[in-house]
Structure 1
């Protein structure tokens, strides 16, 4: 999709009436006083940014729109409400071409560049180099709606930590998108450092909590797991495909979308090598029970997808209906499918697996995503500390004397504990 920018020619697909429309400098216009059309909508085009227009509707809305061309067609995209997005920021969003020079061009920005100007370049950079289209849309929305109205006119180099903290606190009280807005602003500040607009390591967003780290990821109790597995088995005949999906989610810790869209060509040697996922290419490791499920399915159905939809050329889109039945039968009405992924991680962390290993198994892009389980590592560390101190105590004690105060479990009990621990570790280690 091509955005129009100053000096570009209007595409041939624009109508004659659009080309003949008189354009005005919208910076000097009192937008609130402009009369609304009696019916439908009216467009007023900006004279400075080709493709940018003010849309007035009879309903009372006043929004910025930008015309874009691609694949021989022209479409218009809404940028945002005019009272939330200043006209200068709207111009930047529609005037920066996607071919914006990157880090190797140190003269891309002036030292006095505003947040709006740098944000547009940052989003163009990510669209070209890093993000999925859906991620880019979310980040662009966060910038337009929550960053530019408050900080867009400020110089990037002048933004302070206290200013960001105040902005984020106010935003947190009004919208659930505050975390994404903070993450977007933080990424833009790093981008600004790369372009010499700020000193290295001066990101004012650094250290602010981008994610609420509550007590997420707790174990499902053994009793809950037994009820859940029994409910899955009880519904397997009626909902065979959804039950297999749920089994694989529980055994692998994969995301629902990764299992639903899994292709047979991606399954090999006890693993599923995904070309694309939420965090990019990654490997889902398959334990023996998961491999058995896939082997059984391979013998029953062909086609491209492990879980085909109504049309064999597309994957299954949902298992929500069957999941509601299963969790109701198991007595866990509030349990989410994604909680199975949390349980998978919790088993690993609470049994001593390093957070980096758990993050790799889950396909986390960075360690911050795995740190939500850090509170669970305390019990594993405590057990390890007790074991180490016990070994030291044994070494210091008189070999012929036995401490009357320390209980030594029987060999059978120790073996039972090891087997129990081994099952837990195997669930994650092979998953």
Structure 2
């Protein structure tokens, strides 16, 4: 932390402070150790520094805008009087927050940490998990009182949904780690840390040749009744292995049909290039372009992308007689087809946009077909020798 200057703290002087590349503190000229900390993001917080024995303590008084400079100064003066009487305002504030209901601190975590560092889909999922599973059981409990047995009982209660139960524990583990960093719980006290995950059954829904033909026929027959851009999106999902959000985010100005690529500024794993084979490029070339809409997959609202693709998909898959097939299964179908075609896993991972090679390993067993073919040749040769007349076998070197 760099002390940039000393100022007479007021609304005018604090408003005038501009963020720098690193956080800095502007201390008040009238009240020692009272200052405003300015973060690179532009957030300005009033703070007070004081000593408790040999230890330097920091007390956050509030954000500029949430409280006024005068209110912050009053709080600082009251805190210094408390210090003079032997009290520790920062510790008292931490104790009060630790006694607050989990739901209150969880909301702070979402606002101060998750909303700034996670993608929109992740933020939505965290809130959904909290509202559905965590709040009803632990929301009213004091943060400091929640134990590993409490979290374990919640996990066990969700045992009929292993995936959801494990995601709930992952959210709680991240939340309690943050509370430890904030000093709201002792270090190493995370009650979700040692909870053993449930075994999750991996769902691998493959498309047979007959099912692919039925899906193709259903897409063809749907052309007269469904939104054309929705059908194009389904075809692109199957022909590229891209995620639903990636296909719906395609824009014409980021698409190079000659090179067969589209550059996405962001995806689940960060910036990504989608590669289009000849069949996918044919689909793209047939998509109508609207002059007032930059999106490849247009929605019904003027200038907007498509929303509601799952509803179209449900009708198409029902026409194909594939009621158990999910949209995301089309991505798996692309990957498994590539693996069975003998493509290296590294190449498949690049096509899918996997950030870690281990994610693509799930398709490794599909890539064994060349080995099976080799085993067929070797085993057939040995079987032929076993079946040969003895005289012929003796004559072999």
TM-score (norm 2): 0.56
Q: Bigger radius of gyration, 1 or 2?
A: 2
**What SS is found at the alignment partner of 1:155?**
helix
Task: Name the residue aligned to 1:77.
Answer: none
Alpha-carbon distance change, 142 to 317 in structure 1, aligned in 2, over 3 angstroms:
closer
Gaps spanning 5+ residues in structure 1: where? 1-94, 101-105, 395-401, 408-431
Task: Name the residue aligned to 1:208.
Answer: 197
Kept in 2, the 8 Å contact 1:284–1:361? The answer is yes
Superposition map of 1:329-368 within 5 A: 329-348=319-338, 361-363=351-353
**Superposed CA offset, 1:164-197 (max 9, x none):** 3332012445999534422210212443565674
Alpha-carbon distance change, 378 to 254 in structure 1, aligned in 2, over 3 angstroms:
closer
**What SS is found at the alignment partner of 1:403?**
helix
Task: State the Cα RMSD in Å.
Answer: 4.8
Kept in 1, the 8 Å contact 2:115–2:123? The answer is no
Give the distance between the partners of 1:99 and 1:171, measured in 2 at CA: 42
**Superposed CA offset, 1:49-70 (max 9, x none):** xxxxxxxxxxxxxxxxxxxxxx
Task: Name the residue aligned to 1:403.
Answer: 382
Task: Name the residue aligned to 1:272.
Answer: 262
Superposition map of 1:152-191 within 5 A: 152-155=141-144, 159-160=147-148, 163-172=150-159, 178-191=165-178
**Superposed CA offset, 1:369-388 (max 9, x none):** x48x83x534545x576678
Kept in 2, the 8 Å contact 1:164–1:204? The answer is no
Give the distance between the partners of 2:371 and 2:286, measured in 1 at CA: 44
Equivalent residue pairs, number: 291
Alpha-carbon distance change, 345 to 182 in structure 1, aligned in 2, over 3 angstroms:
farther
1:283 equivalent to 2:273? Answer yes
Task: Name the residue aligned to 1:36.
Answer: none
Further displaced range: 239-248 or 324-333: 324-333
Give the distance between the partners of 2:206 and 2:364, measured in 1 at CA: 12
Alpha-carbon distance change, 254 to 134 in structure 1, aligned in 2, over 3 angstroms:
closer
Deviation at 1:144, TM superposition (A): 5.6
Give the distance between the partners of 1:338 and 1:289, measured in 2 at CA: 20
Highest RCO, 1 vs 2 (Cα 8 Å, sep ≥ 6): 1
Kept in 2, the 8 Å contact 1:127–1:133? The answer is no
Alpha-carbon distance change, 192 to 346 in structure 1, aligned in 2, over 3 angstroms:
farther
**What SS is found at the alignment partner of 1:337?**
coil
1:306 equivalent to 2:293? Answer no
TM-score (norm 1): 0.52
Deviation at 1:304, TM superposition (A): 0.8
Alpha-carbon distance change, 175 to 292 in structure 1, aligned in 2, over 3 angstroms:
closer
1:223 equivalent to 2:210? Answer yes
Superposition map of 1:75-224 within 5 A: 113=98, 116=102, 119-133=106-120, 135-140=122-127, 142-143=129-130, 146-147=133-134, 149-150=137-138, 152-155=141-144, 159-160=147-148, 163-172=150-159, 178-192=165-179, 197-199=186-188, 204-205=193-194, 208-209=197-198, 212-214=200-202, 216-224=203-211
Deviation at 1:130, TM superposition (A): 1.2
Give the distance between the partners of 2:345 and 2:144, measured in 1 at CA: 39
Give the distance between the partners of 1:337 and 1:226, measured in 2 at CA: 17
**Superposed CA offset, 1:103-133 (max 9, x none):** xxx9996799468376455323334431245
